[in-house]
Structure 1
Amino acid sequence: MKKFDIRKIKLKAVNLGDIDDRMLLVNLYATQAITLVIGFSWLLFQGRDPFSLFRPGDGLHFLYWGVGLAAAVIVMDILAARIVPEEANDDGGVNERIFRNRPIWHIALLSLVVAVCEETLFRGAVQYHIGPYWTSIIFATIHVRYLKHWIPTGLVFCISYALGWIYIRTGTLLAPVIAHFIIDLVMGLVIRFRREA
């Protein structure tokens, strides 16, 4: 039996064009699974029950905050798309590749998976230690495809900060998860149906 040698592992930069759609989806789901595992582990390490963070509390105020923030972000994004040149919003084609040929149910599933996984880690675990400002800097940084242009990076930071703020305001992760889900779903549907027009 051949012995595994970690020193023989070589990392290679991969161009988005070199990855087929199936592998892009595998990478997306894998990174979200890792994000969720890290988030849950971090919350357990903090001595906090991850599931309790999703309790709605009294009333539906979390729903109003989540839907309200999503609506504000969508309006802001539509306005920005009309004002800002298209090349200043370029993400390297990642969002196009992810959403353009997906059925609606898959866009909804992707949006839900991303919202739950990222909010569990960033709002649930990271924000608990370093607050919404620094969490939003990290959140914007991991969305590396936007870092080439300051406008989308700034928007991701602002959206992240707003997600953190509504989490503090409502006391439940349901508010930022709902907002994140609606934002990603609507943007995914816009990409999906804009391509067909």
Structure 2
Amino acid sequence: MSRKKTLDEFTDRELRLNLYMTQAIILGVSLILGLILFQSAAEWRRLWRLDWEPVLLLGGGAAVLVVALDYMAMKLLPEAWFDDGGINERMFRGLSIPHLLLLTFIIGFAEELLFRGILQTHLGLWLSSLIFAALHLRYVAKPFLFAFVLSISMLFGWLFAWTDNLLVTVFAHFLVDFIMGLHLRESEGEHKGGE
């Protein structure tokens, strides 16, 4: 019987592969739940509107707010409150800009599809946000990180409820992850998790 690998024994590439597999599972769950919960394709299509003004202004504005709050918190609060074991740094370390764009788009699309498009439309804002935060397992034992992820989920959920447009939250989620990924990619080696 083989021993289970610890997180430290995974290469950065293996961690990213696991992230891609997780996003594929999220997309699969979304497809299955969408087929079960939505009455028609028209009901599904109603969630997607290519209306650039709210996508760019509201989605982009929400992303800038989240990133600004995160940077302020990192400056004002103890570093230990943000320690996720270096996983985020390892996920983004060494990625090319095109790869970072692809990865963060997939994450934003898959997670917003499931948590806002499927779960929020059927379970409501609070429950879908709690599920979103709880599924970020590495943050559950970190009260600040868990509260921050829950707050972001609530913000994105409120934004979706207000605009009734998944493209707004997909763009916001993508932009937050992309900007934070750029920061982590650029700061490799500066933090204790960098090699």
One fold, TM greater than 0.5?
Answer: yes
Q: Does 1:56 align with 2:50?
A: yes
Q: Does 1:92 align with 2:85?
A: yes
Counterpart pick for 1:114 among 104, 107, 110: 107
Per-residue CA deviation, residues 39-79 of structure 1 (Å, 9 max, x unaligned), is 1221121124344422235x622331100100100110010
Structure 2 partner of 1:150 = 143
Summarize the Cα distance change of 1:48–1:151 in structure 2 as closer, same or farther, 3 Å threshold. farther
Structure 2 partner of 1:72 = 65
Q: Does the 8 Å CA contact 1:63/1:175 hold for their aligned counterparts?
A: yes
Summarize the Cα distance change of 1:51–1:29 in structure 2 as closer, same or farther, 3 Å threshold. farther
1:4-23 mapped onto 2 (5 Å cutoff): 13-23=4-14
Counterpart pick for 1:42 among 22, 27, 33: 33
Give me the identity figure in percent.
Answer: 37
Give the SS at the match of 2:94. coil
Quick one: which amino acid aligns to residue 194 of structure 1? S
Give the SS at the match of 2:188. helix
Quick one: which amino acid aligns to residue 26 of structure 1? L
Given the two structures, how large is their TM-score scaled by the length of structure 1? 0.88
Give the SS at the match of 1:116. helix
Summarize the Cα distance change of 1:122–1:70 in structure 2 as closer, same or farther, 3 Å threshold. same
Per-residue CA deviation, residues 3-60 of structure 1 (Å, 9 max, x unaligned), is xxxxxxx896542111112221211111101101111221121124344422235x62
Q: Supply the distance in 1 between the matched residues of 2:118 and 2:131 (Cα, whole angstroms).
A: 13
Structure 2 partner of 1:101 = 94
Q: Does the 8 Å CA contact 1:90/1:146 hold for their aligned counterparts?
A: no
Q: Supply the distance in 2 between the matched residues of 1:174 and 1:183 (Cα, whole angstroms).
A: 14
Runs of 5+ consecutive residues of structure 2 not aligned to the other structure: 191-195
1:166-181 mapped onto 2 (5 Å cutoff): 166-181=159-174
Per-residue CA deviation, residues 89-140 of structure 1 (Å, 9 max, x unaligned), is 1112110110111111111111000000000000000111221111111111
Summarize the Cα distance change of 1:60–1:157 in structure 2 as closer, same or farther, 3 Å threshold. same
Give the SS at the match of 1:54. coil
Runs of 5+ consecutive residues of structure 1 not aligned to the other structure: 1-9
Quick one: which amino acid aligns to residue 36 of structure 1? L
1:128-167 mapped onto 2 (5 Å cutoff): 128-167=121-160
Structure 2 partner of 1:25 = 16
Give the SS at the match of 1:102. coil
Quick one: which amino acid aligns to residue 55 of structure 1? R
